[in-house]
A and B are shown apart, each in its own frame.
Chain A
Amino acid sequence: MAEDLVLDTAIRDWVLIPLSVVMVLIGVLRYFVSKLMKGSSQIPDPKIVKEGQVIIRARNLRAGANYIPAKSFRARKAYYSNEENGLLHVPKGQAANPQAQMFSDPNMAMDMMKKNLSMIIPQTLTFAWVNFFFSGFVAAKIPFPLTQRFRAMLQNGIDLSTVDVSYVSSRSWYFLNLFGLRGLFSLILGEENATDDTQRMMQMSGFGMDPSKTLGAEKDGLDIVQHDWVLPKFEQRAESVLRKLVK
């Protein structure tokens, strides 16, 4: 396009800046709401706590196997991974289905719902608001040219292929804010408190990590460990240390 589009300054004053401000305010509000809701959570499940500890201990065993005598290592290995009542052995069928677990534990489902609610409701509302009021026009221009690939990202809601890609539609501005304000939140609310949508979405998809799977993986890892006692080597090393010392 040869001629530039001239953007009304009213767009800056009434669309660009308010949109960003509203996004920040909603982020802050959501942080406090989720904090309020988080206050009432339950005591951790004893089984999960214990499983976590078992895994740490098994991992220690795997890492430090060579530092204990072979006899002790074998005893421990049997203790962890024997097929009858080893700590890491998960009987088939007993492997809890996370989905089923979620339904059997109303608290857990409740927690999930709260988390989702605090995320989805404001998001839908703001999106509807932006869509209703500011859809279909250009809100800003970035000061450098971009390739056509960015059209989908920057000009969401404008179906014109002739507009230069460096113009940003208002709906795209909303999305840019939604995903780009993380750094700002971590400044305002403190490092760990940043309400991070992208991260949370990841968590959602990764939900239902099966503890029995980690146990099984740890067991497999333990099964393939070759015990090679390093202590005999230490005798020679101690000799060389002492030789240096005596000299």
Chain B
Amino acid sequence: MVTRTEEEEVNRLENQVENGGGGVWEYLCLVHKLKLRRSDMVLKHGLSILNDSKKRSALGPEEWTLYEQVAVAAMDCQSIDVAKDCIKVLQRKFPGSKRVDSLEPRVYRKPPLYLHKVGGWLRTHHHVQNPCPEPHLWDSHWICCCCRLEAMLLEARGLWSEAENAYSSLLEENPFDQVVHKRRVAMAKAQGNTSAAIDWLNKYLDIFMADHEAWRELAEIYVSLQMYKQAAFCYEELILSQPTVPLYHLAYADVLYTLGGLENLQTAKKYYASTIDLTGGKSTRALFGICLCTSAIGQLTKGRNKEDKESPELQSLSAMALEKDYKQRAPSRLSVLSSTLRSLKI
């Protein structure tokens, strides 16, 4: 996750780079490190370094990392030719890699271990990440990289079945290449084949079950398919791995609220409350959630007249907080809000 200071640093550098103030390489490194998706910028400025032979050679071995970064960014921007050129350079440098479509069974040497540790996540089919965080001289790593890039190029050109084959054969050789696993999921998603995406993702999570970003992706897919029970499980997993991230509490509460039923609603209310606590009351969605949950619980328990003993004031407080917030930031909508809240009151 990108912290605020890191984000500020990136934005500052981006500004500086855009205005020709230098620091291009630092910017690219930072984008690489944080696994951000600013492909247009990376393509533009990375290419400017690569086209300048003096600047390029000053990078030393990191030159190849830059080639990879630019290739990936180019695929993201659909500049297939640039990507092809970059991959060609890499292949010339690391000639162990053959074309992927003529892939023969080959013994790979061990991929660098850090591949398992990193590996960001891809949102859409061409949201591309950078698989190797450090420059490395290991030829075997680069041979893997070239193959992967080739497969990704196929994917970027929309040759799904070829890319699929390429990824599968890559995985046969090295079943622990997280990047390839994730690309396969992303590709299935890009084709709109959500059930396949779920299958691949589950297969991936069967091995790498501590990868919370994959859990998050799975949760979002399940939500989009209205499979809320499964999504709830994923969000529980996320809360377990990072108990202090309010986003997961909020999403979990949303899922529970959508599921409905008294027990789920009460639980949802608790998670909305924890979101409020974790965000310091800044989350408007959680405030609304409290109001909705309370009114839904009230409707369900109307006959029994069972009051919530634990926090009787929570709803009125969140309604007040909402009103205050609206007064400050959107006074014109205040009337809408108060009528909505009134309609929620039992």
Contacts and interface: CB of A to CB of B under 8 A. Distances in A.
Nearest to B205: A53
Contact of B240 (A40, A42, A50, A61): A61
A238 B109 contact: no
A149 interface: no
A67 B280 contact: no
A231 B239 contact: no
B324 A245 contact: yes
A232 B270 contact: yes
Interface of B: 108-111, 113, 116, 138, 140, 174-176, 207-211, 233, 236-237, 239-241, 243, 267, 269-274, 276-277, 280-281, 290, 310-311, 313-314, 317-318, 320-321, 324
Contact of B277 (A39, A61, A64, A241): A241
A125 interface: no
A232 B110 contact: no
Given A64-B239, A64-B243, A243-B317, A234 B274 contact: yes
A39 B138 contact: yes
A246 interface: yes
Given A53-B209, A64-B241, A242-B317, A235 B267 contact: no
Nearest to A75: B233
B241 to A, nearest CB: 5
Contacts, number: 115
Given A60-B241, A237-B277, A39 B109 contact: yes
B240 A68 contact: yes
Interface of A: 39-44, 46, 49-50, 53-54, 56-57, 60-61, 63-65, 67-69, 72, 76, 231-232, 234-239, 241-246
A237 B249 CA distance: 15
Given A242-B281, A242-B317, A245-B280, 4 more contacts: A43-B174, A235-B270, A236-B311, A238-B273
Contacts of B311: 235-236, 238-239
Contact of B207 (A46, A65, A234, A244): A46
10 contacts: A46-B207, A64-B241, A68-B236, A72-B233, A232-B270, A238-B274, A238-B277, A238-B311, A238-B314, A242-B314
The SS class assigned to the B binding surface is helix
A4 B109 CA distance: 61
Contacts of B240: 57, 60-61, 63-65, 67-68
B239 A68 contact: yes
Contacts of A246: 317, 320-321, 324
B261 to A, nearest CB: 13
A40 B110 CA distance: 7
Given A41-B109, A234-B273, A246-B324, A239 B317 contact: yes
B239 A245 contact: no
- Name the residue among B174, B208, B270 with the largest chain A CB count within 10 angstroms: B270
A29 to B, nearest CB: 19
A140 to B, nearest CB: 41
A89 to B, nearest CB: 16
- Name the residue among B174, B277, B280, B290 with the largest chain A CB count within 10 angstroms: B277
